[in-house]
Structures are given as structure tokens and as C-alpha cells.
Structure 1
């Protein structure tokens, strides 16, 4: 496209008739919103292309959902994971982080009004192991302090500290 065409495109204006809002009927919108409410939006954090067909098969298998899980490519590298039950969605959310082929899958809960352009992944839950701590710092309080130094703490796993 030459610069003259680009310049003309930038100067396009709408007439008063064209500048009117277009009404959109909300037919079945409540049902659709309910269906979308059981969705996660995800993106593989990768610098190279991801084999989406293989990734979808692996995730369905790991999450033990099979055909109950609908995975839709919504564009811009984003996937929509549509669940049948809230408990399925919550299990996936609580048991991450998830990855495929060494590419981490960032997830966000779907919200009304969300678009491909407005999806922002602000945080990613990670398990962090700290090795070589002095014995007197191997406790829940130290784990909380270390976790807070890295970000938000979801949980400190103290099972390794429990004695038989």
C-alpha cells in the first residue's frame, strides 16, 4: 500500500447517518453469558508456534475431561476453554500452572465484556521450592515471608515438615 492510499484512509469521516449506533438484539444473551461464565481464556507463553492440536489433546487428557471440554481458538494466540461444570473449571484453575512442550499456559477467568484485545494476564501461579535454608528457617512463617518477597502467596506447603 503506498503512502497516498494510507493518507486517504486516515482522513475518512462518517456522515451523520453513518455515525449512528447500531442496535444489537440480546436474543439468548443470558444463556450465552451463562455458558461463557464457565470459561477460562488461555495463552501459551512461547516464542515459537505451538502445535495446538497436540496441546488440546494433551490438556484434555491431563484434565481428564475428554469431550466435556471445548477448546476454541479465539484469535491473537488465545484459547477459550469452555467447561461443563464449575467444579471442572475450578479444578483446572487450582491445580496449575499448566504447560505443554515446555510452554507455560497463562490462564484468566472469562469476564463479561472481555475481548481478544482486552485480555491481560497479570499473574501466574508458580510453585517455588527453596533449597539450602538453615534448619531454623524451614517453617511456615519463613515460607510466607519468602513467598511475599516474590509476589502474592497462595499457599505454603508444610507437608515435608510433618514428622511421622
Structure 2
């Protein structure tokens, strides 16, 4: 009998619509150091999502869960909302795309709403937020801080996909030419216990951190 190992096999795709096309399949990763209880996270997420109908949730190990939404619109709406968290731990939701193995779904990046504080008022423009967002990662959205030409807040607000394997950037020095450099700092919205305020890494608490301190002003 010939061994299947070492062979490269190609399958023909079904002609009719299959499981993946009918449903929206999403892989969520719990960003934490501790082991998780599958049932606890499953029940908590379903409750936060309003107990949507016809969604299957499977534990695939390594703190990852597979969510299969029959209602694609509902699944996309859940993904577009702000950070989901259970017991203070962020759940990073990513699409499982056709052609990928479930183990290839990339959880290294995550979208955040970020507040940019300390910008001089003459730079309080949407365009400034766009430049900062594109330097941070992949910019998804930049809000205009002005309504009818009037400032409505003292900071910029941007939504950016950032590499969470590295320390989250804390801010930057702004060159003001004839004035001293100014520290502009970031606030990440809805980050809870899973964010370490010592090193800036997601997934563990400050009390257990042995990493170098993240840059700060």
C-alpha cells in the first residue's frame, strides 16, 4: 500500500455552494496567559452578542474558538464592533478565508480605536490623524475632530490595525521647529486586564511582567 505521506494532493472544489460560502466563519483568539474555560467564554460571548440564532462555536485549542455564523450580516456586524472581552481578556476575531487552514488564521494584528492626545490645536485636523494612523499600522478610519469647523474634542481619534505581538506604541515626539519637542501620547480604548501597563504587551498583567518597560515620556 502506498503511503499518503510526502504526496501533494489537489482536490476539486464542489460545484455547488459549500459550507464555507454559506456561512461566515471567524476564528477568535483569547489574548491571555492563563488557560481558559471554553464553556465560560462561549456563554459570555453569546450573551454579549444578543444570543444570535444559528451560530456554532467550536473549541479548536490553543485558546482559539471557531464561530460559524449562518447569518453573515450578523457575523460581520459583530466583527465591526469595538473590542470584545471576557473576564478582562480581549478576544481577537479574524476571518477564516477560503484556502486557509484554520491554523493559518493570523492573529498577530488587531484593530483598536486610539485617542491621540497632546496635538497642538493648529494640527487638530483629520489629515493629521490619517498620517499618524498610517505610521502606526493599517489605517481603517480617522475621525474629523471638527463639526462645521468647530473643534468638538481636544484629541484625535483613529482606528488602526496594529501588530499586537510587539509592545503597543505609547506615543511619539513631535518636532515643533523653534519650540522644544512635544510628547504626544496614545490612549487605547477599552483595554482591560489583559494589557500590561509596564511593557505595553497584550496578554498578561503588570504584576507578572518581567519585560523591559515600554517607552514613555
Which TM bucket (shorter chain)?
0.7 to 0.9
CA distance in 1, matches of 2:129, 2:13: 50
Q: Which runs of 4+ in 1 moved over 4 A?
A: 20-30
Q: Report which of the two has the higher share of helix.
A: 1
Q: Do 2:54 and 2:71's aligned partners in 1 also have CA atoms closer than 8 Å?
A: no
In 2: Cα distance, 1:29 partner to 1:73 partner? 28
Greater relative contact order structure (CA < 8 Å, 6+ sep) = 1
TM-score, length-scaled by structure 1:
0.73
| Within-5 A mapping of 1:41-56 | 41-56=27-42
Rounded to whole Å, the distance in 1 between the matches of 2:128 and 2:20 is 43
Partner of 2:80: 94
- Higher strand fraction: Structure 1 or Structure 2? 2
For residues 85 and 136 of structure 1, do their structure 2 counterparts lie closer, same or farther at Cα, with a shift above 3 Å needed? same
Q: Which has the higher mean CA deviation after the structures are superposed, 47-56 or 77-86?
A: 47-56
Deviation at 1:119, TM superposition (A): 2.7
For residues 60 and 27 of structure 1, do their structure 2 counterparts lie closer, same or farther at Cα, with a shift above 3 Å needed? same
TM-score normalised by L of structure 2: 0.57
Q: Unaligned stretches of 5+ in structure 2?
A: 153-217
Q: What does residue 2 of structure 2 align with?
A: 18
1:136 aligns with 122
Alignment of 1:116-131 (within 5 A): 116-131=102-117
Q: Which has the larger radius of gyration?
A: 1
Structure 1 Cα separation of the partners of residues 38 and 11 of structure 2:
33
